[in-house]
Chains A and B, each alone.
Chain A
Amino acid sequence: MTEGVDPVGLDFNALAYSGRALGSARQAQNVHRWGWWYQAEWRLLGMKAYWTSILGSAVLTPLLYVLAMGIGLGALVDSSSGGVEGVPYLTFVAPGLLVATVVMSSVNELTFPVMGGFKWQKLYFARAATAATPSQVAVGELLAVGVRMVAEAALFWVVLVALGAVDPRWSWLMIGIAALAGMAFGAPLASYSATLEDEGFEFSMIQRFVVMPMFLFAGTFYPLATMPLYLQWIGWISPMWHGTQLARAVAFGLPLTNGEVAMHLGFLVILLAVGIALTVRNFTRRLNR
């Protein structure tokens, strides 16, 4: 009887059919209810591969910014204009840096990985071949990235607090604000990534002509009003600016009227809602094609 078993001990006759799998009706029922979470779970698992760089950038970035902005640039600004918006430069700039960092990592997570899911690794198609629906895949993707945003913002905030750059009382609300701003920019971007067929050179254009200008011109480093009027519109249409204004309000009490708070929040929520709807639509179109 030994001839059937090969020398390494692998039994080629084994069929791996144990009969213990859940029935197909039960599988369908589970996925119907939890499919979006299975997708998110899978995406989060994938982030394990680069968790050191997620952690490294979430801890090192605020550290460097606080050193550079607090000691270096802060000294320069504070000595010539005596602080910004009535607070030291570091206090002013820290909330903006937190929001900007989170928004920029949502760009990383929702451009090439989304396009790759359709074009290179085709993992979304593998997902769609299970009982999951395209909208569950779309929602799961966004959810997983949202989870990462929250984790990253929380780490960033902890470092800021530890270095004394922000007052912890209300500033923890920045964690949610930054994640909201990140997803308000990321979700519409994901819907666009899901339509791309080509090599993704569009992404370097977005990086250079949308993300970079947003980072530089949307009031992260100085109040938007410092800019000439013909450049201020960049801030008005940027989720980064709306998020930063809210973050400043909770971090050091930047005076905002109720109307302004509603406007900033409303802008981000509407953008997020539209982004989710479009992502679901574009995932469904591409996966059902």
Chain B
Amino acid sequence: MTTKLIRIRPGVGAWMAANSSGNAGAVIGRGFKVIRNQNWMIIVSGFFEPVFYLLSMGIGLGALIGTVTGPGGHQISYAAYIAPALLATSAMNGAIYDSTWNVFFKLRFAKLYEGMLATSLGPLDVAAGEIFMALFRGFLYAVGFTVVIASMGLTTSWWALAMIPVALLIALGFAAIGMALTSYFTTFQQMDWINIALLPMFMFSATLFPIEAFPEVMQWFIMTLPLWHGVELMRQLSVGHWDASTAVHLTYFVAMSVLGVAFATRRLRTLFLR
């Protein structure tokens, strides 16, 4: 057991030597190769889900609801209210899917990572490469969706362009935590519980209606959830409205990403090396 203790406390340099060959680029290269060979419909189809939600809820429910109070107390159309929230939600869903289901499948069933880790790649290279690919997909969808809502006239500020990098920040936070959680999973069924946890977060985080409808205690609870911060931040960007809460939302996600990456890093060896 003494040998074990020595291995647990290396410095940063030693840790990097154990877990990386600095070649995450090869994992990314593989990702792009797969995208090129893949049925393009699979990639394009991912773009439609938030658009369908926007059309259905925006037009259908919008007709029943009319206008809603948006950032800064301005009345905005229901479609303009939910559009930025749907972008935040789709960034979250994509990142969670890529870092849990997708990683688990490649790890346990396709054995893709087993092959990669038999080469000079280390677990850090594999994780960094895979998170990069998840962010790249998220980037494509965020650009597509932003173009759609801008052309529907649902944004009123050039600041709406900042929704794209913010979507990536949201995705990074969720992807890092998702990957760390995946290291605890042993069966697919356990991942159902992630979806069961995400559904209420989607419903209650001011995505489809303001949280003021709920009792105050519940509002406080919702305000601790990451998606609420993502939704509020996106909504402010879409109309170019700033206040002190903007900084809070942004800080929340920067902190979540930093902590998430640290958490994922700690779990890295447990996830990939057994």
Q: Which of B49, B59, B61, B189 contacts A73 (CB 8 A)?
A: B61
Q: Is B143 an interface residue (CB 8 A)?
A: no
A75 and B209 form a contact (CB under 8 A): yes
Q: Is A163 an interface residue (CB 8 A)?
A: no
CB-nearest residue of chain B to A92: B64
Q: Is A249 an interface residue (CB 8 A)?
A: no
B66 and A80 form a contact (CB under 8 A): yes
B64 and A80 form a contact (CB under 8 A): yes
B214 and A228 form a contact (CB under 8 A): no
Q: Is B208 an interface residue (CB 8 A)?
A: yes
B209 and A73 form a contact (CB under 8 A): yes
Residues of chain B within 8 A of A5, CB atoms compared: none
CB-nearest residue of chain B to A83: B64
B130 nearest CB across to chain A (Å): 20
1/0 contact string of A33-57 vs chain B (CB within 8 Å): 0000000000000000110110011
Task: Determine which residue in A61, A208, A213 has the highest number of CB atoms from chain B within 10 A of its CB, and name it.
Answer: A208
In the bound assembly, the distance between CA atoms of A205 and B39 in angstroms comes to 11
In the bound assembly, the distance between CA atoms of A205 and B42 in angstroms comes to 7
Residues of chain A within 8 A of B199, CB atoms compared: 61, 64
B208 and A73 form a contact (CB under 8 A): yes
Choose the segment among B8-16, B50-58, B232-240, B256-264 that binds chain A (4+ C-beta atoms closer than 8 Å).
B50-58
A72 and B204 form a contact (CB under 8 A): yes
B window 185-229: CB within 8 A of A: 189, 192-193, 196, 199-200, 203-204, 208-211, 213-214
A208 and B59 form a contact (CB under 8 A): no
Q: Is A204 an interface residue (CB 8 A)?
A: yes
A108 nearest CB across to chain B (Å): 11
B208 and A72 form a contact (CB under 8 A): yes
B192 and A72 form a contact (CB under 8 A): no
A221 and B45 form a contact (CB under 8 A): no
Q: Which of B45, B52, B213 contacts A71 (CB 8 A)?
A: B213
- A205-B41 contact given A75-B209, A77-B64, A212-B52, CB 8 Å threshold: yes
Q: Is B48 an interface residue (CB 8 A)?
A: yes
Q: Is A173 an interface residue (CB 8 A)?
A: no
A204 and B45 form a contact (CB under 8 A): yes
A162 nearest CB across to chain B (Å): 18
B64 and A81 form a contact (CB under 8 A): yes
CB-nearest residue of chain B to A54: B192
Q: Is A217 an interface residue (CB 8 A)?
A: yes
A84 and B64 form a contact (CB under 8 A): yes
CB-nearest residue of chain B to A49: B189
B69 nearest CB across to chain A (Å): 10
B214 and A56 form a contact (CB under 8 A): no
Q: Is B117 an interface residue (CB 8 A)?
A: no
Q: Which of B42, B55, B56, B209 contacts A76 (CB 8 A)?
A: B209
In the bound assembly, the distance between CA atoms of A65 and B208 in angstroms comes to 12
In the bound assembly, the distance between CA atoms of A70 and B204 in angstroms comes to 12
In the bound assembly, the distance between CA atoms of A209 and B238 in angstroms comes to 28
A65 nearest CB across to chain B (Å): 8
1/0 contact string of A133-149 vs chain B (CB within 8 Å): 00000000000000000
Chain B interface (Cβ < 8 Å from any Cβ of A): 39, 41-42, 45-46, 48-49, 52-53, 55-57, 59-61, 63-66, 68, 189, 192-193, 196, 199-200, 203-204, 208-211, 213-214
Listed by A's residue number, 21 A-B pairs whose Cβ atoms lie within 8 Å are A56-B193, A68-B200, A68-B208, A68-B209, A72-B204, A72-B208, A73-B208, A73-B209, A76-B68, A76-B213, A80-B64, A81-B64, A81-B65, A205-B45, A212-B48, A216-B52, A217-B60, A221-B56, A221-B60, A222-B60, A231-B55
